[in-house]
């Protein structure tokens, strides 16, 4: 039987061919070890109390007023940060999409992202301290906008650059002025970029746990999750992590819904 097994093994090795799918095996192994298994452990811990399956961790979270207040504060900070990034990022992306050298400027926006965000945040804090600016919620939001603004500009610039210019020309030929062309044509066609940018800013903002502490001592939902795990409350921390995972899934579904089909389907 051992000989039969060795023969089969030799035949498999002999018939083995390197195909494109083979190069995906390391990635599949990486995802299994560092994504699938940790998520499975979080899911198990969320429903495990004293070695038994229970909803006790969910009940404990509902009774934890501090964590729920932190979640609401995180949503507030996330909404404000996202709106500021959109208000600042859309005009920048729109102007750069009209310039031949716009891509170079976008690259300059992205370059700081190559520096570790912790170093950027510490540098921002040093600037505030040098200017004698008191750290608080305002400086936290400033730090959020500074760190996540490129994630709003990049998808907006890509979407605006790829808009078919014939739509704009057609609107102008029909007598629409510049404002009407923007409202009726450019804005609807850029909706996929807006949705992508909002998601790329909002989710990281409410889940961050370093910027809020360094720039104002404010605790957001990410800080609360970190503290739960750090204090050994793995069950409640896992439930909170599942909430963040649910938000990510809903956001991805939202993006997929609005990014389906051609951008022309979004025309009013």
- What is the pTM assigned to this prediction? 0.79
Domain presence at residue 182? yes
Please write the tens of the pLDDT for every residue from 56-92: 889 888 888 888 888 899 899 999 999 999 999 999 9
Percentages helix, strand, coil for the chain, rounded to the nearest 5?
80, 0, 15
Q: CA angle, corner 190, sides to 154 and 204, nearest 5?
A: 45
CATH number at residue 246: 1.10.3720.10
Extract the tokens encoding 53: 């399956």
Task: State residue 264's pLDDT score.
Answer: 42
Domain count along the chain: 1
Residue 151 has pLDDT above 80, yes or no: yes
What average pLDDT score do residues 26-40 get?
A: 88
Measured N-to-C along each axis, helices 102-110 and 137-161 cross at an angle, to the nearest 10 degrees, of 150
Reported as a pLDDT band with limits 50, 70 and 90, residue 114 is confident
- Least Cα distance to 146 among 199, 94, 215 occurs for 215
Domain presence at residue 24? no
Greater confidence (27 vs 80) lies with 80
What average pLDDT score do residues 194-218 get?
A: 85
What average pLDDT score do residues 25-43 get?
A: 88
Give burial (CB, 10 Å; 0-12/13-18/19+) of 105.
Answer: middle
Domain presence at residue 139? yes
- Least Cα distance to 265 among 172, 157, 177, 192 occurs for 192
Q: What is the dihedral of CA 252, 255, 257, 260, to 10 degrees?
A: -120
Domain presence at residue 119? yes
Residues 6+ apart with CB under 8 A from 139: 125, 128, 133, 215, 216
d(CA 99, CA 94): 9
Domain presence at residue 248? yes
Domain presence at residue 53? no
Give the residue numbers spanning the domain of 135: 65-266
What average pLDDT score do residues 86-115 get?
A: 84
Residue 214 has pLDDT above 70, yes or no: yes
Task: State residue 108's pLDDT score.
Answer: 80
Task: State residue 266's pLDDT score.
Answer: 45
Domain presence at residue 184? yes
């Amino acid at each position: 039987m051992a000989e039969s097994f060795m023969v089969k093994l030799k035949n498999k090795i002999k018939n083995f061919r390197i195909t494109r799918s083979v190069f995906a095996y390391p990635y599949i192994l990486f995802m299994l070890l560092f994504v699938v298994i940790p998520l499975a452990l979080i899911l198990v811990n969320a429903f495990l109390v004293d070695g038994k399956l229970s909803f006790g961790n969910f009940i404990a979270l509902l009774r934890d007023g501090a964590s729920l207040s932190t979640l609401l504060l995180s949503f507030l900070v996330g909404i404000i940060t996202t709106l500021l990034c959109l208000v600042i990022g859309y005009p920048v992306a729109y102007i750069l999409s009209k310039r031949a050298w716009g891509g170079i400027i976008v690259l300059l926006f992205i370059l700081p992202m190559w520096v570790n965000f912790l170093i950027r945040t510490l540098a921002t804090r040093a600037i505030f301290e040098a200017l004698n600016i008191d750290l608080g919620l305002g400086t936290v939001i400033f730090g959020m906008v500074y760190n996540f603004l490129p994630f709003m500009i990049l998808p907006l610039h890509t979407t605006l650059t790829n808009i078919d210019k014939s739509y704009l020309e057609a609107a102008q030929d029909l007598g629409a002025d510049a404002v009407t062309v923007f409202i009726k044509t450019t804005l609807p066609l850029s909706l996929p970029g807006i949705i992508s940018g909002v998601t790329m800013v909002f989710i990281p903002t409410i889940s961050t746990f370093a910027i809020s502490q360094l720039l104002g001592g404010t605790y957001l939902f990410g800080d609360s999750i970190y503290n739960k795990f750090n204090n050994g409350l793995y069950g409640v921390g896992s439930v909170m992590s599942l909430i963040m995972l649910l938000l990510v899934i809903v956001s991805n579904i939202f993006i997929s819904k609005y990014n389906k089909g051609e951008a022309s389907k979004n025309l009013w």
